[in-house]
């Protein structure tokens, strides 16, 4: 443990997987967690712990236990967690009995900090799916550990991925890919792409639900009018809105475009993905950076205000035929779903399902089972703690670009600041400043990074430009920027380890989406770095090679748009058709 602690002080990563491997080797004190999931099945995690000497080693052991349990709750959620230890071991019993306080179990959602934040999402899901008793940790002696755990039968097959594109025939459908910095929309009729639109926004700056909901509804209204104009053969009448137009301006343009039509055919369905936990079409997470401005608005009741965002699917139903589907899921799940559909249409075996990540503002994660079911899980892998080291990075406050602290929880070492745009910016602030001072001066001169009030940050309006600069430099072979993307690849390798450990997916490969992977050179660097941590890792970029359905092939052949840009929006079109039967 002393060697691990020394690395942390030198600002080097101390990966959770390394600590686990070491503790599995030297741990002689049983610590076993029985996690009761939402479907009443039980997952058992064994965390043998070593004896420790002094406060530093004791803190490392506690942080390890907290991180593993926090990751489990962030990905799987739980109705409860039963912990089995040797109750005669006073130090270990104290650790187990202190979990309720460490995770703020007894506090209200608004009062929770740090590890307790994951329970806010968990409570909302439990209320939506299960009801019953609130979440608790329970502690038992290891002699009482049950020898058998409940197992729930696998869900029945939902649909055939390869058959979904046929269901779009003679249907007017809208796909919405809602991200942290932009929204991408695709309107389609059957096999034909009618309209692709990209809109820039900053949801984290919204101080009420209308700041998030209204732009999305305005965009749906605009795309409905414009899809009808294209169907009427009046493409010349289409008008583009500024990429950062206000909701009011979008509604006004939608009214102008609608006024050009004698009649408007509603959408037959809308598919969308949202960067938060989504269960049964309702957005119910509420702890991401996208709603930070609303959470911090003390004039509002956050739970009531967030419920308006949760009901986005009900608002969008106004643009759909009566009874037509508005199908919502998490953006990571949409990435996995999109990959599954395209691969199935291309003749690949998707019986193990698909696992995907989106490398965007944060790390999105999606998992779809081979039978077509998207499990009702939090799957907030961007909250995973993968690093128990990097002490200098942890010393900065979360708002600083140099920090590795999660902006929602304040916890250091989470994937939000590692495998994401923020991870690239953090590494740039560390390595470019140290090794390429002239290049660092250029970044400051161009306003891609700013220093103000003792903080270093990337302005929201410059995030795309800052990432583009780093990618261009890496593609050109600039050594420091190449190393940045290799290190992000290492983080993806650690993500592979942690998701396999906790989620145990049947799918072993990972599809990657996002700006970082659309450039072949940057993807190659990511893959190279990932293989440093996992030699046999299977990663592939979701790009034009994934285009097999008619709509995706149309996108791939476009001179104006790319699969990396609008692929998930096309996937959302197919997702909207899950409950639509093929036209006879």
One domain for residues 512 and 452? yes
Token pair 């991180």 is found at 67
One domain for residues 57 and 120? yes
- Position 578 in a domain: no
- Do 409 and 73 touch, CB atoms closer than 8 A? no
- What's the confidence (pLDDT) of residue 584? 47
HEC string of 28-80 equals CECEEEEEECCCCCEEEEECCECCCCHHHHHHHHHHHHHHHHHHHHHHCCCCE
One domain for residues 73 and 196? no
One domain for residues 385 and 529? yes
End position of a domain, from candidates 119, 144, 169? 144
One domain for residues 296 and 399? no
- What's the confidence (pLDDT) of residue 583? 57
- Position 568 in a domain: no
Structurally, the chain folds into a number of domains equal to 3
- What's the confidence (pLDDT) of residue 18? 97
One domain for residues 166 and 138? no
Contacts of 307 (CB under 8 A, 6+ apart): none
- Position 557 in a domain: no
- Do 190 and 170 touch, CB atoms closer than 8 A? yes
One domain for residues 170 and 319? yes
E strands in 86-189: 137-141, 172-178, 182-189
- Position 11 in a domain: yes
One domain for residues 449 and 391? yes
One domain for residues 26 and 130? yes
- Position 10 in a domain: yes
- Position 149 in a domain: no
- What's the confidence (pLDDT) of residue 361? 84
> Tens-digit pLDDT profile for the chain (584 aa)?
999 999 999 999 999 999 999 999 999 999 999 999 999 999 999 999 999 999 999 999 999 999 999 999 999 999 999 999 999 999 999 999 999 999 999 999 999 999 999 999 999 999 888 887 899 999 999 999 998 777 777 667 788 999 999 999 999 999 999 988 899 999 999 999 999 999 999 999 999 999 999 999 999 999 999 999 999 999 999 999 999 999 999 999 999 999 999 999 999 999 999 999 998 889 999 998 889 899 999 999 999 999 999 999 999 999 999 999 999 999 999 999 999 999 999 999 999 999 999 898 889 899 999 888 898 899 999 999 999 999 999 999 999 999 999 999 999 999 999 999 999 999 999 999 999 999 999 999 999 999 999 999 999 889 999 999 999 999 999 999 999 999 999 999 999 999 999 999 999 899 998 889 989 999 999 999 999 999 999 998 888 888 999 999 999 999 998 887 899 999 999 999 988 766 54
One domain for residues 516 and 410? yes
One domain for residues 137 and 79? yes
Q: Which CATH number goes with the domain that contains 191?
A: 3.30.420.40
Which structural domain range is residue 324 located in? 161-329+337-347
One domain for residues 194 and 283? yes
Q: How many CA atoms lie within 13 A of 160 on its CB side?
A: 10
- Position 323 in a domain: yes
């Amino acid at each position: 443990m002393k060697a691990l602690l020394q690395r942390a002080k030198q600002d080097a990563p101390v990966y959770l997987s390394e600590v686990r491997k070491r503790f599995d080797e030297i741990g002689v004190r049983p610590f076993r967690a029985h996690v009761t999931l939402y479907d009443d099945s039980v997952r058992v995690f064994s965390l043998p712990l070593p004896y420790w000497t002094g406060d530093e080693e004791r803190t490392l052991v506690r942080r390890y236990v907290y991180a593993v349990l926090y990751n489990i709750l962030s990905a799987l959620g739980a109705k409860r967690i039963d912990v089995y230890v040797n109750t005669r071991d006073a130090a270990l019993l104290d650790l187990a009995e202190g979990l309720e306080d460490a995770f703020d179990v007894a506090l209200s959602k608004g009062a929770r900090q740090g590890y307790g934040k994951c329970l806010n999402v968990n409570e909302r899901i439990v209320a939506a799916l299960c009801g019953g008793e609130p979440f608790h940790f329970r502690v038992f002696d290891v002699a009482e550990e049950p020898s058998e755990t409940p197992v729930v039968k696998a869900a029945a097959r939902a649909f055939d991925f390869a058959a979904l594109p046929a269901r779009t025939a003679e249907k007017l459908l809208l796909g919405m890919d809602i991200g942290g910095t932009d929204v991408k929309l695709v309107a389609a009729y059957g096999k034909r792409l009618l309209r692709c639109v990209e809109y820039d926004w900053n949801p984290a700056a919204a101080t009420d639900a209308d700041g998030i909901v209204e732009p999305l509804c305005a965009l749906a209204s605009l795309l409905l009018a414009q899809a009808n104009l294209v169907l009427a053969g009046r493409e010349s009448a289409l008008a583009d809105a500024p990429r950062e137009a206000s909701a009011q301006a979008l509604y006004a343009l939608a009214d102008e475009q609608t006024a050009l039509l004698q009649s408007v055919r509603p959408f037959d369905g809308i598919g969308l993905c949202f960067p938060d936990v989504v269960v049964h079409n309702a957005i119910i997470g509420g702890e991401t950076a996208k709603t930070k401005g609303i959470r911090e608005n003390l004039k509002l009741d956050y739970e009531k205000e967030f419920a308006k965002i949760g009901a986005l699917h009900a608002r969008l139903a106004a643009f759909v035929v009566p009874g037509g589907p508005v199908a919502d899921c998490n953006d990571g799940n949409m990435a996995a779903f999109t990959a599954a559909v395209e691969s199935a249409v291309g003749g690949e075996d998707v019986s193990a399902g698909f696992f995907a990540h989106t490398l965007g503002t944060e790390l999105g994660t999606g998992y779809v089972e081979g039978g077509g079911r998207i499990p009702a899980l939090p799957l907030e892998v961007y909250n995973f703690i993968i690093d128990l080291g990097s002490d200098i990075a942890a010393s900065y406050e979360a708002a600083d670009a140099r920090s590795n602290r999660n902006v929602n929880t304040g916890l250091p070492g989470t994937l939000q600041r590692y495998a994401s745009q923020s991870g690239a910016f953090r590494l740039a602030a560390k390595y470019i400043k140290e090794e390429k001072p002239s290049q660092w001066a250029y970044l400051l001169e161009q306003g891609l990074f700013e220093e103000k009030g003792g903080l270093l940050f990337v302005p929201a309006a410059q995030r795309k430009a800052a990432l583009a600069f780093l990618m261009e430099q890496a593609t050109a072979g600039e050594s420091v920027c190449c190393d940045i993307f290799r290190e992000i690849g290492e983080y993806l390798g650690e993500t592979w380890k942690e998701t396999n450990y906790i989620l145990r997916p049947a799918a072993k490969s990972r599809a990657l989406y996002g700006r970082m992977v659309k450039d072949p050179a940057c993807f190659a660097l990511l893959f190279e770095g990932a293989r440093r941590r996992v030699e046999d890792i299977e990663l592939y970029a979701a790009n034009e090679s994934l285009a097999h359905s008619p709509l995706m092939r149309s996108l791939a052949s476009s001179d104006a748009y790319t699969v990396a840009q609008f692929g998930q929006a096309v996937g959302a079109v197919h997702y909207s058709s899950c409950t639509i039967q093929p036209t006879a």
